[in-house]
Structure 1
Amino acid sequence: MKKIFITCFALLILASCNKDKDILNSLNDHNIASQNKGYHFGDKLQLPQDVLDYAEAITISYGDKETSNLAIAPNFFTLGENDVTFNLKTKGGEVLQQDATINVFAKAKARAIPYEIVNQYPHDADNFTEGFEIHGDIVYESVGLEGKSKLMKYTLGSRTPLLEVAQPSNIFSEGITVFGDKIYQLTYRSKKGLVYDMNMKLIKEFDYPEEIAEGWGMTNDGKNLIVSDGTKTVYFLDPGNPSKVLRTIAIASDKEGYDQINELEYHNGSLYANVWQKPIILQINPANGEVTGIIDLSNIAKQNTSGNDDVLNGIAFKGGNMLITGKNWSKIYEIIVK
């Protein structure tokens, strides 16, 4: 009798384990199927009925947060990819866990923004462009690569620097912005920012906020420094204390979440961003990170890109027209964004 009881008990455990596995597989299959479709803020997660029937309670963990709310709430999720864990408490008291990716997209459709080339200017093809900005006819450019990094300014139409500051060999220069009477510059992995006066004399350094792993792109909206770090997140920093994050946004359109956000420019209430290795510029609502428009610059990029590094990377505004260039490009293009 004991032997029969043990056998039955073992079969029950096996059946339970198989059921647990089936439920987790069902949840995983559902997640894969829903990734391309994505969700919008306010949507409720549509989990499979067998999962809902099997679980006594379901919570979602995301980073250091946890919620039992199955709605896509902006105070929990961000735009783009959200790598979460589903925690299923079964009616038998067990807790099953399944990792998943929940994509959250913008509700409004991103429009295709047409453009017209109206001018071309020379650009030093030796410049591995990381930061690019213009004030009047003076271009400020941050040039990257260790051992070759420098900060420079020159007149648009000329390749001859008006002023140039070489940086230490261990510094990989990144994005810049002119804010008031100062030039702010990012570095790649040293987690240091640099502040110069307008004569490019170094005034001070600052440490990155802990959240920012790497320095990529930089601009400002007249109130905040705006920084990218190669992820989907864009950070708004206090210019008086650049080590402090005031708020963040994540970037996504109605169809796609974007990471590797790179060079930035702010103009007329919109944020513009290069995406590393993509021949596009995103127009972004800086309030919430939603992509409102996309400029497809494939035709220009093809003429200037022959490898993996010489990619589109440089946005500035000359009046109402946009200037664009790239790493090691020989030209700067002036375009009318229609």
Structure 2
Amino acid sequence: MNFIKFFIPLAIATLFLACEGDLKPKQLFEIEFAGKTNEFRNLDSVAVSIKNKKGKTIDNVSYSIDGKKLQIQDDKLSLDVTRLGLKELKAVIEYEGNTAEITKKIKILSATAPEIYTYEIINEYPHDLNAFTQGLEFHNDTLYESTGSGGNAKSFIRKIDFKTGKILQQKDLAKNYFGEGITILNNKLYQLTWRSGIGFVYRLQDFKELNSFQYGESKEGWGLCNDGKMIYKSDGTEKIWLLDPETLTEISHIEIVTNKSIFNKANELEYVDGKIYANVWQKESMMIIDAESGAIVGVINMAGLKNKVKKHKNLDVLNGVAYNPTRGTFFVTGKNWDKLFEIKIKKK
């Protein structure tokens, strides 16, 4: 009987300790913010605490995002991240000789609102009215264009004398592919297709197909540009993917944000001096995106251009942006537009 009296409490205590030891970190602790919000702006100082669910003795807490340790002082966390958007805040908690890691999803937006820009038309050039423009890019003062299958036309890539509109070279895609954005790097032309999950790589000089590649996490192909080292790819979501130009694998991504929300309408892309200029899908506007952080630093009101082109039944939206480094100007057009506009962008 004495043995039973001793054994039962011991078993209960052992079971209790075992259960305590099996508790997962999120059952012990939780990250909490003042105001119960999870949306902040970069460089905010945020009141943060650890909810101690089991009364553990906490010795130290450190916080990080994307592997970067964040500064904390007087229970205020300094949010200072390189890439904005949806993030995972990690807390490492040292307690009673143990270490626990917990996370919390938060949204970090831009610290500042976008600046407003407008445009000035420098020149107008002829553009193929039947070209359902999806990609536009300059290389050595020659214009390259990619189209989708608008109306009865096939998708194609072509090389153009931009001053006359004369087609210098063209390659049609198979009928089952809807062509999308292009970019040129290392004497290769890269082209996306829309929903086929495949892109193509061509030799620039003669459009000979060198390779094809499958998309990774991104499901669609919209726009392409490059910074001389990496390729950037939009897919209709809030993400712009960074692709290795050799393997075409999606290495990482940035997320497009303003100071108020995450944005998901980047279409055709052009990279200039650390910024990505992007057509806004279905809108007469472009956005200027910081290529490192994803912040929309500027919005360009492009209203009025569509009124200057020929009206017809297949006329569609503004799409296509290319920077000519020799002239220091941008060239824009639209789907089935009969004009190509050379413009300068300026603050409003």
- What's the TM-score, normalizing by structure 1? 0.70
Match of 1:201 in 2: 208
Report the Cα offset of residue 219 of structure 1: 0.8
Structure 2 CA distance for aligned equivalents of residues 275 and 307 of structure 1? 22
Q: 2:180 aligns with which of 174, 179, 184?
A: 174
1:254 aligns with 2:254: no
| Inter-CA distance 251–162: structure 2 relative to 1 (3 Å threshold) | same
Question: Does the 8 Å contact 2:46/2:78 carry over to 1?
Answer: yes
Question: Does the 8 Å contact 1:196/1:204 carry over to 2?
Answer: yes
Report the Cα offset of residue 139 of structure 1: 1.1
| Inter-CA distance 80–246: structure 2 relative to 1 (3 Å threshold) | closer
Report the Cα offset of residue 40 of structure 1: 0.9
Equivalent position amino acid for 2:329 in 1: N
Moved more, 219-228 or 272-281: 272-281
1:135 aligns with 2:139: yes
Q: Of the two, which has the highest radius of gyration?
A: 2
Structure 1 CA distance for aligned equivalents of residues 312 and 53 of structure 2? 57
Q: 1:112 aligns with which of 105, 116, 131?
A: 116
Match of 2:341 in 1: 333
Question: Does the 8 Å contact 1:79/1:257 carry over to 2?
Answer: no
Match of 1:12 in 2: none
Q: How does 1:38-57 map to 2 (within 5 A)?
A: 39-41=40-42, 43=44
Deviation track 1:100-155 (CA, whole Å, cap 9, x = no partner) reads x9764210232112321111111111111011011233210001027611111110
Q: 1:121 aligns with which of 122, 125, 128?
A: 125
Structure 1 CA distance for aligned equivalents of residues 345 and 299 of structure 2? 11
| Inter-CA distance 276–46: structure 2 relative to 1 (3 Å threshold) | farther
Structure 1 CA distance for aligned equivalents of residues 106 and 271 of structure 2? 29
Deviation track 1:238-275 (CA, whole Å, cap 9, x = no partner) reads 11110x22221001122343202110001122111111
Structure 2 CA distance for aligned equivalents of residues 260 and 109 of structure 1? 17
Q: How many residues align?
A: 273
Question: Does the 8 Å contact 1:42/1:71 carry over to 2?
Answer: no
Structure 2 CA distance for aligned equivalents of residues 306 and 74 of structure 1? 50
1:283 aligns with 2:288: yes
Match of 1:323 in 2: 331
Deviation track 1:47-102 (CA, whole Å, cap 9, x = no partner) reads 9xxxx99x959xxxxxxxxxxxx979677x974578xxxxxxxxxxxxxxxxxx97
Report the Cα offset of residue 334 of structure 1: 0.8
Structure 2 CA distance for aligned equivalents of residues 298 and 104 of structure 1? 31
1:238 aligns with 2:239: no
| Inter-CA distance 159–170: structure 2 relative to 1 (3 Å threshold) | same
Question: Does the 8 Å contact 2:274/2:292 carry over to 1?
Answer: no
Report the Cα offset of residue 302 of structure 1: 4.6
Report the Cα offset of residue 236 of structure 1: 0.9
1:225 aligns with 2:231: yes
Higher helix share: 1
Mark the runs of 5 or more structure 2 residues left unpaired by the alignment.
1-34, 55-75, 88-104
Moved more, 232-241 or 137-146: 137-146
Question: Does the 8 Å contact 1:279/1:311 carry over to 2?
Answer: yes
Structure 1 CA distance for aligned equivalents of residues 282 and 313 of structure 2? 10
Match of 2:298 in 1: 293
Secondary structure of 1:272 counterpart: strand
Mark the runs of 5 or more structure 1 residues left unpaired by the alignment.
1-29, 58-69, 83-100
Deviation track 1:209-260 (CA, whole Å, cap 9, x = no partner) reads x211001000110001111101110011111110x22221001122343202
Question: Does the 8 Å contact 2:46/2:79 carry over to 1?
Answer: no
Structure 2 CA distance for aligned equivalents of residues 118 and 56 of structure 1? 65
Equivalent position amino acid for 1:234 in 2: I
Secondary structure of 1:277 counterpart: coil
Q: How does 1:301-312 map to 2 (within 5 A)?
A: 301-304=306-309, 310-312=316-318
Secondary structure of 2:40 counterpart: coil
Structure 2 CA distance for aligned equivalents of residues 127 and 44 of structure 1? 50
Report the Cα offset of residue 191 of structure 1: 1.1
Match of 1:273 in 2: 278
Structure 2 CA distance for aligned equivalents of residues 277 and 79 of structure 1? 25
| Inter-CA distance 228–72: structure 2 relative to 1 (3 Å threshold) | farther
Secondary structure of 1:299 counterpart: coil
Structure 1 CA distance for aligned equivalents of residues 322 and 246 of structure 2? 24
